[in-house]
């Protein structure tokens, strides 16, 4: 109860777009006779470190898979690409891979503040430039009378049979529609298949990444006193919307805690949790031991 009171009396950070990553994964590497790190040994050590660091078993498994991919890239002198990954996995994987010898890693989401990114790992000789692994689509329609949410656009895309891992960020454009980042291999398929979002007929065209419309990140802090650490209470205060409106956003899949959609209003937040509301930004709770 004391911890809850402290949390509620402390400042929260409201993060618009993407917060800067912090922390690093300690990786143990071993020096061998040629004066280089052994990639295989370093990968094994990084796997162990990822497991110890991550409280999420699925995230740890994702990082291990990426490290295995990096090892194959080093052995075959080739380049491999992941699907779109969430920010925690991108952060941990990049910090782990950068410790490996003879491996270059690049994370790309289509624009500087992208949340979901693909990681490319490969031998430096074969990665002289950033791989072209992200494409942008414009989904246009008359949404002025039938506004659609992030969840509506994502649902329409997934309704064509595409899995979530092949889709990056979705940038809402109000009454005009949205811009979506996808795997380049799916561009032609979506152009020919996606016809509606909600009740609105749409046209889908490929656009250059430079045509993406996004805002640079801004950070504000706020204080609130609430009776609990429930996500609906704190997010309502942070985003300055009613709990009724927030409940509707939660039901439509537009509210996520630590990048995982939540469907319950009563989820209790912990220190350091990140709450995101599609099109509104993110809220980060203060960290115990370093309240701000």
DSSP string computed for the chain: -HHHHHHHHSEEEEEES-PPP---------B-TTSSB-HHHHHHHHHHHHHHH-S-HHHHHHHHHHHHHHHHHHHHT-EEE---B-HHHHHHHHHHHTTSTT-EEEEE-SSTT-SSBEEEEE-GGG-SS-----EEEEEE---SSS---HHHHHHHHHTTT--GGGEEEEEE-GGGEEEEEE-GGGHHHHHHH--EETTEE-EEEEE-GGG------EEEEEE---SS-BHHHHHHHHHT--HHHHHHHHHTT-EEETTEE---TTPBP-TT-EEEETTTEEEEPPBTTB--
Judged against a pLDDT cut of 90, whether residue 188 lies above it is answered with: yes
148 vs 221, which has greater pLDDT?
Answer: 148
Reported as half-sphere exposure (CB side, CA atoms, 13 A), residue 136 has a value of 18
Choice between 15 and 27, residue whose per-residue pLDDT is larger: 15
Q: Is 45 exposed, middle or buried (0-12, 13-18, 19+ CB in 10 A)?
A: buried
CA distance 180 to 156: 12
Q: Does residue 20 carry a pLDDT above 50?
A: no
Topology classification of domain 2-16+217-284: 3.10.290
CA distance 86 to 274: 12
Residue 56 has a pLDDT of 59
Per the DSSP assignment, residues forming a β-bridge with 218 are 16
Residue 17 has pLDDT above 50, yes or no: no
Q: What is the CA radius of gyration of the chain?
A: 21
Instruction: Note the pLDDT of residue 217.
Output: 65
**Mean local confidence (pLDDT), 198-219:** 89
User: Is domain 39-126 classified as CATH 3.30.1370.160?
Assistant: yes
Q: Is 259 exposed, middle or buried (0-12, 13-18, 19+ CB in 10 A)?
A: middle
pLDDT of residue 19: 43
Mean pLDDT of 39-52: 52
* Range of lowest pLDDT (48-57, 155-164, 187-196, 270-279): 48-57
Q: What is the mean pLDDT of the chain?
A: 79
Q: What percentage of the chain carries pLDDT values higher than 70?
A: 77
Look at residue 201 in the predicted model and tell me its pLDDT: 95
**Spans of all domains in the chain:** 2-16+217-284, 39-126, 135-211
Q: How do 79-81 and 255-257 pair as beta strands? A: unpaired
Q: How many residues does the chain have?
A: 292
Contact 181, 107 (CB under 8 A): no
* Gap between the Cα atoms of 246 and 140, Å rounded: 26
Render pLDDT for 60-118 as a digit per residue (tens, 0 to 9).
888 899 999 988 888 888 899 999 999 889 988 998 888 887 888 999 999 988 989 99
The tokens for 185 are 């291999």
| pLDDT band of 251, cuts 50, 70, 90 | confident
The CATH fold assigned to 135-211 is Alpha-Beta Plaits (3.30.70)
Q: Which pLDDT tens digit goes with each residue over 117-154?
A: 999 999 888 887 888 999 999 999 999 988 898 889 99
pLDDT at site 52:
52
Domains 2-16+217-284 and 135-211 are alike in CATH topology: no
pLDDT of the residue at 163: 96
Distance, CA of 259 to CA of 243 (rounded, Å): 20
Contact (Cβ atoms closer than 8 angstroms) between residue 148 and residue 196: no
- Dist. CA 139–CA 120, nearest whole Å: 27
Q: Place 9 in a pLDDT band, splitting at 50, 70 and 90.
A: very low
Q: Is the pLDDT of residue 4 over 50?
A: no
């Amino acid at each position: 109860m004391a911890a809850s009171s402290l949390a509620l009396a402390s400042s929260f950070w409201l993060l618009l777009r993407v917060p800067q990553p912090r922390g690093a994964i300690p990786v143990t590497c071993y020096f061998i006779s040629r004066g280089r790190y052994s990639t295989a040994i370093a990968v094994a050590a990084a796997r162990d470190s990822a497991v110890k660091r991550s409280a999420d078993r699925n995230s740890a498994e994702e990082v291990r898979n990426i490290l295995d991919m990096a090892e194959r890239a080093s052995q075959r002198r080739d380049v491999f690409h992941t699907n779109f990954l969430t920010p925690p996995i991108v952060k941990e994987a990049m910090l782990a891979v950068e410790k490996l010898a003879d491996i270059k890693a690049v994370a790309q989401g289509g624009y500087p503040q992208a949340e979901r990114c693909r990681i490319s790992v490969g031998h430096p000789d074969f990665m002289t430039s950033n791989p072209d692994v992200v494409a942008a689509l414009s989904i246009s329609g008359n949404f002025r009378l039938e506004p659609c949410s992030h969840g509506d656009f994502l649902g329409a895309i997934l309704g064509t049979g595409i899995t979530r891992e092949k889709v990056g960020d979705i940038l809402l454009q109000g009454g005009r529609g949205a811009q979506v980042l996808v795997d380049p291999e799916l561009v032609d398929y979506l152009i020919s298949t996606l016809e509606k979002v909600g009740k609105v007929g749409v046209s889908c065209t490929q656009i250059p990444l430079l045509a993406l419309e996004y805002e640079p990140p801004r950070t504000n802090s706020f204080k609130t006193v609430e009776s609990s650490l429930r996500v609906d209470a704190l997010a309502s205060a942070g985003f300055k919307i009613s709990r009724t409106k927030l409940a509707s956003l939660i039901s439509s899949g537009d509210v996520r805690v630590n990048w995982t959609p939540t469907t319950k209003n009563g989820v209790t937040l912990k220190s350091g949790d990140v709450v995101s509301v599609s099109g509104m930004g993110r809220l980060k709770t203060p960290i115990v031991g370093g309240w701000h």
